[in-house]
Chain A
């Protein structure tokens, strides 16, 4: 493993991470009748909206407490209360999810304290749940904001009524709406009840509107979140997350709900672990439908392995996504020759080694806290076959004349980022077909003959 060669840059050029309030906004958009509210300058909500919107091709409303110069000096309590009031009047939401920003964190705003003094009486029963999460953009990345918000929601809403249920809590991590739909389908096919948080499969990927929707329909129901303390088990995806504070662990500590910490179910190995866990929790066998799906996937691996074997991929994105993709790529014989993330949990290297124990011998380079300038420098040394990650890698892929397979977030130079399935056997099948065909197409296009037969 060659992490020691890394040049220590002071500045970040072309970052491979976004800021934490963006992650929190993602989560709050995935709860029924919920409005995210950023406590900070209006630029934060505008920038984050534009990024989410350009990926999902969907409307995304995020409110803001609109700091001004005086607010920055004297505190934002009054602005925050006014924002909450205006949101209630306009949207009548069931939940307002407040995320802080670097501005409110720098001046040391205590959001729970501000809200304590709120006069709820004037809103009768219409007062929504209010959840706040601390997301200064100078700590961690968007994925920390995402997991932090999930944990904050569970922390303030989940209870234990001591009614034992068959419910499974699913903490999916930052996946696509199509992924979330697929996960729901899988869990439902085990004939069990579930609570998935967040669930933006409808709110961020919906049909045309027949009439105006103040808040798009869908999202995790508050009652479902409340019942998480009584669940039979939680499943939480992310090998990095498994080492950190999380919603699943909170439910174990507080309500003794067992938590299965699994890798993101990308590729056969990680998906098998997911189905195995579902089978154990529900006591039911894996449905025939998925046995068939897995069978077809392995059949295609058998048919396609010779085309992809030893191809070398540059993988980048959130640490857990990179870990998941590395697991999938290595199981089909592709070498994830560069695994890079803007995240700096300090765990990426170990997690990749857990999956690919001989990573060192193969020459896999793992770059933590990476930006695209570093990824570019490393990539130039090894002449990879393709890049796999979000739209931000396009510049270097273009410069090196290599294909970029778009996955993850943000995808703003193609349609359908919301419809990519990464997880399950179905996701692996789609990824495998796209990757194989990309490699085959490149060989075909660059060959002097250009055979039309494989």
Chain B
């Protein structure tokens, strides 16, 4: 892509005065000068002005490295990633937090995950509940295993769930409570699947560690429990889609319309029943690469299910992903059906694009969110004519920025080492490679890349800014310097952005909105961004006497 130079910004009528355009490299130096030298050295590797060095190579970014104490970051903890993100959206498992009350309370359905319990026969839905052992002084001193046992028994007696999982919080690991031993014991006693997660908050660098722990737990304890093969010509799992604001419902609608069957979604609108036979699917589609790639890799090793990356956010990416799936299966019936569906859906999308473009064309957008969303939403903004100018992740790793080819070169540091890597082998009975080596090569010749993710930076023009684990201070400097038309992040940044009179869209939990995935979602999103950016409330930021002081000072007799 062409460099996003001062000249190009001028041509694209960006809402910046080209004379005042501050070079990203200059801004970077300014930001770094505010930090103590040691912090500045570290931060210098996390603030990157994007540029294509060679055909394959983009600058290296430091990611998944500990946040410096005292720097206010937006990152969460291992427990948050495990319980809140990956396990939280599953409706029929009882998620029991073993710890003092805070952790359970704060992760109590704050992510606006939706679910439809009518699609599982028992209709179980525990998502509105927040279960905690509520440890108090005496458990910290004498151990909390007794209370944990009692709590599991109680949950079983009251709700008769199919499955219970237990999440260890910070003090649990330290006082030596063994959640795995207790859950094994209770599993034997009660005869349902019960397992624990060692997801103490201090583990790893961010919530990303918790995603990995959750992936391991699902793979070891749930996936593969039920060998029933469901009907369907094209049977896929959707990985890393959490059904915020109903995204998964819209994706399901489109895939079903194409004749594609979803065996299980990890973990939006999910049931443990779906997880249990997800190993019978033909193909794993990965939405959020960061949070779920571990399960995909392990399922491929053990069961022979191939995976590839898709993106269902934005109409363009949706169509492209559908075509990729159709090409993978290579059956004319599916290829034709996908084209029919795209042709049916696109007129409404194009109409909406045409409507909003004149009001949004050339305006700057910034997005600092998640481990995938900062990438996924860029296409959405381009469809509105906007320019994704700065982006970054909260908890991603280098492969999410630069692409998976960097994986062999990643250094394993102490923080990554203490998250277990499972040794996975072929399942003696159930391993079944869905695709032969020859077929795989043929696909790659048609540029359908399996097991690959190209990363966010390769998709951004030179001259754009990429920041990993952006701090509050850096956010403020970006806003001040480039005055974007819209800034996307989460609730923690929301109000400081709005304090500047800049519209802010929450891309973690979507404010009160959604769905944004798929075609209808894209239309929703275009309209919402249009309404936000062009809202009349921004006209009132300055009072009339601030806009033109001479007006206020004029006397009536003049």
Contacts and interface: CB of A to CB of B under 8 A. Distances in A.
Contacts of B170: 40-41, 67, 72, 101-103, 106
A49 B102 CA distance: 12
Contacts of B75: 42, 46
B155 to A, nearest CB: 7
Choose among B75, B100, B104, B480 the residue with the greatest number of A CB atoms under 10 Å from its CB. B100
Given A53-B494, A101-B170, A208-B500, A47 B106 contact: yes
Interface string A358-385: 0000000000000001000000000000
A17 interface: yes
Interface stretch (A7-15, A275-283, A428-436): A7-15
A11 B153 CA distance: 10
Interface in A395-412: 395
Choose among A14, A15, A43, A213 the residue with the greatest number of B CB atoms under 10 Å from its CB. A43
B492 A50 contact: yes
Interface in B79-115: 79-80, 96, 99-108, 110
B202 A46 contact: no
B210 to A, nearest CB: 9
Interface stretch (B125-133, B278-286, B458-466, B522-530): B125-133
Contacts of B418: 69
A303 interface: no
A85 B36 contact: yes
A82 interface: yes
A169 interface: no
B510 to A, nearest CB: 14
A62 B72 CA distance: 7
A72 B69 contact: no
Interface stretch (B135-143, B215-223, B247-255, B305-313): B135-143
Given A41-B77, A68-B202, A58 B101 contact: no
A42 B105 CA distance: 16
A72 B106 CA distance: 22
B534 interface: no
Interface residues of B, number: 81
A254 B476 CA distance: 44
B68 to A, nearest CB: 6
Given A11-B154, A41-B202, A138-B135, A102 B106 contact: no
B472 A61 contact: yes
B320 interface: no
Contacts of A47: 76, 80, 102-103, 106-107
A27 interface: no
Contacts of A58: 495, 499
Interface in A88-115: 89-90, 101-103, 105-107
A338 interface: no
Nearest to A11: B151
B201 A86 contact: no
Contacts of B476: 212
Contact of A54 (B107, B473, B491): B491
Contacts of A14: 108, 128-130
A72 B200 CA distance: 10
A160 B184 CA distance: 60
Interface stretch (B171-179, B400-408, B420-428): B171-179
Contacts of A137: 100-102
List the 7 shortest-distance A-B pairs measured between CB atoms, nearest first.
Answer: A43-B77, A19-B102, A86-B70, A83-B70, A59-B496, A47-B106, A11-B151
Given A10-B153, A14-B130, A102-B170, 15 more contacts: A13-B129, A18-B105, A18-B106, A19-B101, A21-B102, A43-B79, A64-B70, A64-B72, A84-B70, A89-B34, A89-B36, A102-B169, A137-B102, A208-B500, A342-B101
Interface of B: 34-36, 39, 66-80, 96, 99-108, 110, 128-137, 139-140, 147, 150-151, 153-155, 169-171, 173-175, 200-203, 206-207, 414-415, 418, 472-473, 476, 479-480, 490-496, 498-501, 541
16 contacts: A10-B133, A19-B102, A19-B105, A44-B201, A46-B80, A47-B106, A53-B491, A59-B472, A67-B202, A69-B418, A70-B414, A80-B69, A82-B70, A102-B100, A141-B101, A209-B500
